[in-house]
Amino acid sequence: DAGVIQSPRHEVTEMGQEVTLRCKPISGHDYLFWYRQTMMRGLELLIYFNNNVPIDDSGMPEDRFSAKMPNASFSTLKIQPSEPRDSAVYFCASSLAGPNTEAFFGQGTRLTVV
Amino acid sequence: AQKVTQAQTEISVVEKEDVTLDCVYETRDTTYYLFWYKQPPSGELVFLIRRNSFDEQNEISGRYSWNFQKSTSSFNFTITASQVVDSAVYFCALSENSGGGADGLTFGKGTHLIIQP
């Protein structure tokens, strides 16, 4: 298996634009997580899904952020409109059996909002 | 609320030295899980170990060892005979069950380990 695949690896966008980050989890993993990493706040869980259903979205910072998982092999994290403070590395991870088990992380998407 | 503290922001040692990375956690749950992840310069996070709250046995894997002590709420990580390839940021993380479901990982701020040749 190729592991968790995220795209794009780097994204530079202007403030106010819509940004969509994509993730393909490992096949057979029922859980998918979105994390954000910044220097100030470290690694934070934004949302996670179980069998395509959002379970905990309490980490989503505000209504400008939304996440979907239309099927078992694809998830998106959308920011609309984007702001400079959204600049961060966004990681997607998947696991077989939930947050209490080993998570496999993608290489991340480095987002810069100018 | 769960919390993970990694007080050492950065550690620099010379190759072949032993080094211990500290992790202290807070939780009100009796059932919880502790993790260590490694983030090399390439950026992705790599799983190293998982421990549940009922298993206080220390673990050794090659040059890596982990010391879990519930009495001090600590889960420290030691690298023996460090190597340059061990240079990375290391994260301790906690997951607990609350409200009938499992919470996602709460990460510490990480310790940047620099191994000098």
Listing DSSP states for B33-95 in one string gives EEEEEEE-TT---EEEEEEETT----EEETTEEEEEEGGGTEEEEEESS--GGG-EEEEEEEE
Interface contacts (A, B; CB < 8 Å): 54
Residue A113 has pLDDT above 70, yes or no: yes
For residue A100, what pLDDT is reported?
Answer: 87
pLDDT bracket for residue A1 (50, 70, 90)? low
Rg (CA), chain B: 14
Residue B97 has pLDDT above 90, yes or no: no
- By Cβ distance, the residue of A42, A91, A102 closest to B110 is A42
pLDDT bracket for residue A99 (50, 70, 90)? confident
Peptide bond into A61 cis (omega under 30): no
Partner A contacted by B95 (CB < 8 A):
yes
* A108 touches A47 (CB < 8 A): no
For residue A21, what pLDDT is reported?
Answer: 98
Chain segment B11-62, per-residue pLDDT in tens: 999 999 999 999 999 998 888 999 999 999 999 999 999 999 998 888 899 9
Show which of residues 18-47 on chain B sit within 8 Å of chain A, judged by CB atoms. 33, 35, 37, 42-47
| Closest to B12 (Cα-Cα) out of B78, B66, B84, B110 | B84
Chain segment A72-83, per-residue pLDDT in tens: 999 999 999 999
For residue A2, what pLDDT is reported?
Answer: 81
Measured in degrees and rounded to the nearest 5, phi and psi for residue B105 equal -70, 135
Residues of chain B neighbouring A35 (CB-CB closer than 8 A): 105
Partner A contacted by B112 (CB < 8 A):
no
What number is the average pLDDT over the span A8-13? 97
What number is the average pLDDT over the span B83-111? 86
> DSSP for B5-30?
E---SEEEEETT--EEE--EEE-S-S
Q: Average pLDDT, whole number, for chain A?
A: 95
For residue A18, what pLDDT is reported?
Answer: 97
Partner A contacted by B7 (CB < 8 A):
no
CA pair distance B6, A22, nearest whole angstrom = 31
For residue B68, what pLDDT is reported?
Answer: 95
Residue B100 has pLDDT above 70, yes or no: no
